[in-house]
Homo-oligomer: A and B are copies of this chain.
Amino acid sequence: MTFARPSGRTADQLRPVSIQRGFTRHAEGSVLISFGETRVLCTASVDNKVPGFLRGKGEGWVTAEYGMLPRATHTRSDREASRGKQGGRTLEIQRLIGRSLRACVDRGALGERTITLDCDVLQADGGTRTAAITGAYVALVDAVNGLKARREIKRDPIFGAIAAVSVGIYKGVPVLDLDYAEDSDCDTDMNVVMNDGGGFIEVQGTAEGHAFRREEMNALLQLAEAGIAQLVQAQRDALAG
């Protein structure tokens, strides 16, 4: 058979996933997640304030920021703090992370507080945004559990679990969880965010080379569903650990 992934994985195989809770000590939730060589530090910080547009409404907010250390990548990229602004890619990703995590939060139950999810990529090898979402969920749960333990909230504001994975068409074959070698040489790249009930939260597919057809999209979504089921299990195992 002629098709082979650079990593030797089968088409429907995730990279090894590791989720390490309590990676740093100050944050209310702190998770180092690895999808293979991609490593993202996800922290959840609780603040007893909400943005202006929510003040006085009795609702909370969940938001995210994303960053990449300058040398997380093969060649050094400029530090955004030094350039004086966050690039379009960064803003797009952090908006995606925030929207995705809000999809499992009952903001009334959270009360007037903000949870900020900082996702900082220590090492990049493809799939940093999907790793970030998957890890941020665990950090978020840890932060919320702290609020519950300190009896600052009464009802659990989190319903279900959220995880994300990328899929794509590499050398004509739909594959799961693209690494950098595949990502930079694929025809279609799709990021899928789902909940643990099998519902879709976000689907973002881009034809890098050829336009993709409905049946290819179906194959990709099927791979994503199976991958996300495994990621949700990894989240559960980590939270139980």
Query: What is the interface of chain A, defined by CB distance below 8 A to chain B?
Result: 24-27, 30, 37, 39, 41, 43, 45, 47, 65, 67, 69-76, 79-82, 84-92, 94-95, 99, 103, 116, 118, 120, 122-124, 190, 194-195, 197-207, 210-214, 217, 221
3 pairs of A and B residues whose beta carbons are closest in the complex:
A199-B211, A88-B91, A80-B81
The interface residues of chain B lying within 8 Å CB-to-CB of A199 are 207, 210-213
Work out how many copies of this chain go into the complex.
Answer: 6
Q: Could you give 9 example pairs across A and B, Cβ below 8 Å? A: A24-B72, A26-B73, A45-B76, A76-B116, A79-B81, A81-B85, A199-B211, A200-B205, A204-B204
Q: Which residue of B lies closest to A209 (CB)?
A: B103
A23 CB → nearest B CB, Å = 8
Q: A76-B116, A80-B81, A199-B210 are in contact. Are A69 and B41 (CB under 8 A)?
A: yes
- Determine if A200 and B204 form an interchain contact, defined as CB atoms under 8 angstroms apart: no
The interface residues of chain B lying within 8 Å CB-to-CB of A95 are 88-89, 92
- Determine if A41 and B122 form an interchain contact, defined as CB atoms under 8 angstroms apart: yes
